[in-house]
Amino acid sequence: MKVYQTNEIKNISILGSSGSGKTTLAEAMLYEGGVIKRRGTVEAGNTVCDYFPVEKEYGYSVFSTVFSVEWQDRKLNFIDCPGSDDFVGGAVSALNVTDTALMVLNAQYGVEVGTINQFRYTEQFHKPVIFVVNQLDNDKADYEGTIAQLKDRWGSKIVPIQYPITCGSSFNAVVDVLKMKMYRWKPEGGVPDVLEIPAEEMDKAMELHQALVESAAEHDDVLMERFFEEGALSEDDMRAGIRAGLVTRGMFPVFCVCAGRDMCVRRTLEFLGNVVPCTDKMPRLITTEGIEVTPDSTGPTSLFFFKTTVEPHIGQVSYFKVISGKVKEGDDLTNADRGSKERIAQLFSMAGQNRIPVTEMVAGDIGATVKLKDVRRGNTLNGKGCDYRFDFIKYPDPKFRRAIKPQNEADAEKMMEILMRMREEDPTWVIEQSKELKQTIVSGQGEFHLRTLKWRIENNDKLPIEYMEPKIPYRETITKAARADYRHKKQSGGAGQFGEVHLIIEPYYEGMPAPDSYRFGGQEYKMNVRDTQTVDLDWGGKLVFVNCIVGGAIDARFLPAILKGIMSRMEQGPLTGSYARDVRICVYDGKMHPVDSNEISFMLAGRNAFSTAFKEAGPKILEPVYDVEVAVPADYLGDVMSDLQGRRALIMGMSSEKGIEKLQAKVPLKEMSSYSTSLSSITGGRASFTMKFASYELVPADVQEKLLKAYEASQSEE
């Protein structure tokens, strides 16, 4: 493969819902580009892009796949992204390093929730979008319905470049209103016959051609002037106008393909080669220091690594984009994130698992290398004198969690090594060893996401594992003030132990006034505040420790020990053993012994006094509550709302956007355990949701009672 220059390179993500035919389209592009001699199929498990065992097992794309096609003296780098929301990390990574999105639609279903979700990411990253209506040979294909849905959502920005003469099993021809020709294929597809547009189609073709001309002129002042003067534009002018409209997201062209029969794939590649903007025409990347970097092959060398995989017989394969300068085999570079030195021993242009050796890559290109010593996804490698660092990929929060453990406890360390390695391959997996819950928690984007993780660990690494419901990180707090005192006294020959602590505890809230006086059992307790210490707890909330000691009843040197004893009890609340939070403690009196008092005595006295007071202070359990947003087709709204209400959800709002309803709700984490599975079941996989931690709230009385009984039972078992 020759070395392509920056102005000859185009980087394109292939997006779309599951089942839209992205992998099949990629296979046809590879075939048309001469990269492969024979097209594989998803059903046969022999496609270039779905080559991992887990993908063959499930018949779904699990990883994004990089491949390149040389076309009309251009290098088109593609990243074929998984369609399922569970594997959205691949799409997020791809959109950050590519310049254009090819959004594939299934002509049976048109605009799906998955389409809208992925389009939202193109919006977030301000990427040009080209829609491709695929599977037009399906008996239920509805091109006109799909165009109507697109226009309903994105209005006049939707500009068809082509339309089919017929849909269904007889599909074999499209009218191209940019070329003003008809393309017709033989049953085997491939190279079409290019014909004049039939008379009966001319009116429709001219109407769409005129709309395309006007849209192209609209995005370039010179073209607009020419259009007004001449009433028409040349094909080259139209390409320039479409390119300008793509860059500003002012228009979204629509193409037709039947990828399974290799129809119109060549024409799509031709359009991508001619019209899609090259990487040097797109917005610049910004370093962590705020420096804008131009993709200039004569600039300093800087590579950003956006993906890693571990492949049999090779080890780690690291994928990068050349942000600036050029990279050659044998180059020595420095890792800006880790400080280590790396040598680029080999360079490859990728076609799935096939690697095509190249000697050099320049700014804008996407490639891979192997056997780097210390490079992780998200790292930047720089040449001499360059200190760029990039950190621009942000992944969505997880929404499905499970506790995980090996069937053999002795394999715990091995399991953690595998999990951390796999997180490098898919950063939307979050691995947490929870000291609080005493569990290893794996969080991901959905049940299917975690199911593939389990399959890979058990089948690739031969390590049997188990998933369990994760424990919920409850919190404990108090609802009223309480007083307690405790004397710790121990005598065992020689110096003994003595410490006595009197304290008052009460619920804490931001901005509460300093303590003044309290009344318990008809007796008033006046507080003389000498010092206040606020502790921001690692698990959320605050502990406020107020020193109200007068007359030297307890020496100041013992107060840190009292606080330490209280903190140890805060880590294990008396109701369910959960962390306690939002408590103010006033230590107002006590006693000490000139010989026997020491730090351990006051630590134990403080701990026990606090524990006694906590139980008298109306203790309550708090549960984590999440903000949940569900995007659901209007047909399923009632069922989804009913399901949410059965999960103790509080519906906060609702909005409608062109047939898709958005529900906002607050839902306890306990009730979200298998929500992704339920939502998929209710809506046939056509809905999606996001969730984000909101706050801790009091659990209802009946739920608290169940939790207390469950905790007591677990304690008695131990």
pLDDT category at 54 given cuts 50, 70, 90 is confident
For tokens 């040097």, name the residue.
280
Confidence at residue 512, expressed as pLDDT on a 0 to 100 scale: 93
CB-based contacts of 184: which residues, under 8 Å, 6+ apart? 172, 173, 192, 193, 195
3-state helix, strand, coil in the chain (%, to 5): 30, 30, 35
High-pLDDT (> 90) share of the chain, %: 71
Task: Give CA 92 to chain center in angstroms.
Answer: 7
Q: How far is CA 273 from CA 76, 81, 162, 264, in A?
A: 7, 20, 17, 14
- Asked if 476 and 578 touch (Cβ cutoff 8 Å), the reply is yes
Confidence check: pLDDT of 215 > 80: yes
What one-character-per-residue DSSP string does 498-544 give? EEEEEEEEEE--TTPPPP-EEEETTEEEE----EEEEEE-TTSSEEE
Confidence check: pLDDT of 673 > 90: no
CB-based contacts of 688: which residues, under 8 Å, 6+ apart? 85, 113, 114, 117, 630, 631, 679
Q: How far is CA 651 from CA 117, 481, 634, 691, 697, in A?
A: 22, 33, 16, 14, 16
Tell me how far apart the alpha carbons of residues 324 and 345 are, in angstroms, rounded to a whole number.
19
The helix (run of H) or strand (run of E) holding residue 424 is helix 412-425
> How many Cβ atoms sit within 10 Å of the Cβ of residue 474?
24
Confidence check: pLDDT of 424 > 90: no
Query: Is 701 strand, coil or helix?
Result: helix
For the record, the structure tokens of 585 come out as: 């403690």
For the record, the structure tokens of 444 come out as: 């991901």
Domains of the chain: 8-281 (3.40.50.300), 285-382 (2.40.30.10), 401-471 (3.30.70.870), 476-618 (3.30.230.10), 621-703 (3.30.70.240)
pLDDT category at 502 given cuts 50, 70, 90 is very high
High-pLDDT (> 70) share of the chain, %: 99
Q: Read off the pLDDT of residues 426-443 as tens digits, 9 standing for 90 and up.
A: 889 999 999 888 899 999
Tell me how far apart the alpha carbons of residues 302 and 475 are, in angstroms, rounded to a whole number.
47
Indicate the pTM of the whole model. Answer: 0.82
On the 0-12 / 13-18 / 19+ scale of CB atoms within 10 A, 125 is middle
Which range is least confidently modeled, 153-162, 293-302, 486-495? 486-495
For tokens 């800006």, name the residue.
336
Confidence check: pLDDT of 657 > 90: no
Task: Give CA 283 to chain center in angstroms.
Answer: 23
CA dihedral 511, 514, 519, 525 (to 10 degrees): 160
For the record, the structure tokens of 425 come out as: 């391959």
For the record, the structure tokens of 495 come out as: 């110096």
Q: How far is CA 641 from CA 68, 110, 634, 671, in A?
A: 45, 25, 11, 14
Confidence at residue 221, expressed as pLDDT on a 0 to 100 scale: 76
Question: Average model confidence (pLDDT) for the chain?
Answer: 91
Q: Is the dihedral of CA 322, 323, 325, 330 positive or negative?
A: negative
Which range is least confidently modeled, 290-304, 405-419, 518-532, 649-663? 649-663
Confidence check: pLDDT of 718 > 60: no
Amino acid of residue 607: R
The residue among 559, 572, 574 whose CA lies nearest residue 605 is: 559
Task: Give 587 or 230, the one with higher predicted confidence.
Answer: 587
pLDDT category at 564 given cuts 50, 70, 90 is very high
> What would you measure as the largest C-alpha separation in the chain, in angstroms?
113
Tell me how far apart the alpha carbons of residues 636 and 516 are, in angstroms, rounded to a whole number.
57
Tell me how far apart the alpha carbons of residues 227 and 241 are, in angstroms, rounded to a whole number.
11
Confidence check: pLDDT of 639 > 70: yes
For tokens 């026997």, name the residue.
596
Interstrand relation of 465-468 and 439-444 (parallel, antiparallel or unpaired) = unpaired
pLDDT category at 458 given cuts 50, 70, 90 is very high
pLDDT category at 353 given cuts 50, 70, 90 is confident
| Alpha helices in 571-618, H assignment, sequence order | 599-616
Task: Give CA 71 to chain center in angstroms.
Answer: 33
For the segment 35-43, the average pLDDT, to the nearest whole number, is 87
The residue among 223, 221, 225, 220 whose CA lies nearest residue 244 is: 220
Q: Read off the pLDDT of residues 239-265 as tens digits, 9 standing for 90 and up.
A: 888 999 999 999 999 999 999 999 999
pLDDT category at 493 given cuts 50, 70, 90 is low
